[in-house]
Amino acid sequence: MSTLTGWERALERAEEALWGHFVRREPIDVVAALRRECDSSAVVCSQSRVVVPNAYDVMLAEHVHDELTRSGVHVGQALTDKLAQHGEHHGYEWAGPLAVHVTRSREVPNGRYRVTSRAMANVSADGFRSGSL
C-alpha cells in the first residue's frame, strides 16, 4: 500500500466518523450502498476498462432526509464526491457525467433508503432529465 493510499483511507475514515457523529450512521450506510450499487453494476469491457453507471438515485425515508438536510450539508454533492473517489480508486470509467440525485420518499424497502443506478447521457445534479425513477 502506498503512503498516499494510506493517507486517503485515513482521511476517508475520519470523514465517515465525523458524519457518523453528526447524523448517526445513515450517511455511512448510504455511501456503502452507493459503492455496492456501483460495484455490482460494473461491466468489464476489457482488462483495462470497466464501465459503471453514472446516474444514481438515492431515495431517503422522510426522517432520514430531514436529518441529513438539517445539517446544511449538500448531501447530493457529498455523495457524488464519495462515489467519484470510489470510482477513481477502482479505475472505473463512468458511462457519462456522474450525478447522485437525492429525493425524499415514503416508500423505501428498508425504512431508511433505496439506491438505484443507470447509465444516462443527459444527467445533472438537480435531477435526471430523461425519465424518473
Domains identified in the chain and CATH numbers = 3-128 (3.30.2320.60)
pLDDT for position 13: 65
How many other CB atoms sit within 10 Å of the CB of residue 63? 12
**Alpha carbon distance 42, 28 (integer Å):** 21
In this predicted structure, which of 29-43, 56-70, 117-131 has the lowest mean pLDDT? 117-131
pLDDT for position 91: 96
C-beta of residue 50 within 8 angstroms of C-beta of residue 114: no
**Alpha carbon distance 133, 32 (integer Å):** 20
Percent of the chain with pLDDT over 70: 71
C-beta of residue 54 within 8 angstroms of C-beta of residue 120: yes
> Which of 4-8, 11-15, 104-108 is most confident?
104-108
C-beta of residue 29 within 8 angstroms of C-beta of residue 68: no
pLDDT digits over 59-113, tens only? 999 888 888 778 777 888 989 999 999 999 999 999 999 999 999 998 887 778 8
Q: How confident is the model at residue 117 (pLDDT cuts 50, 70, 90)?
A: very high
Pairing of strands 43-46, 127-128: unpaired
How many other CB atoms sit within 10 Å of the CB of residue 82? 22
C-beta of residue 73 within 8 angstroms of C-beta of residue 18: no
pTM score above 0.85: no
Residue 10 has pLDDT above 90, yes or no: no
Locate cell 483511507: which residue? 9
pLDDT for position 125: 59
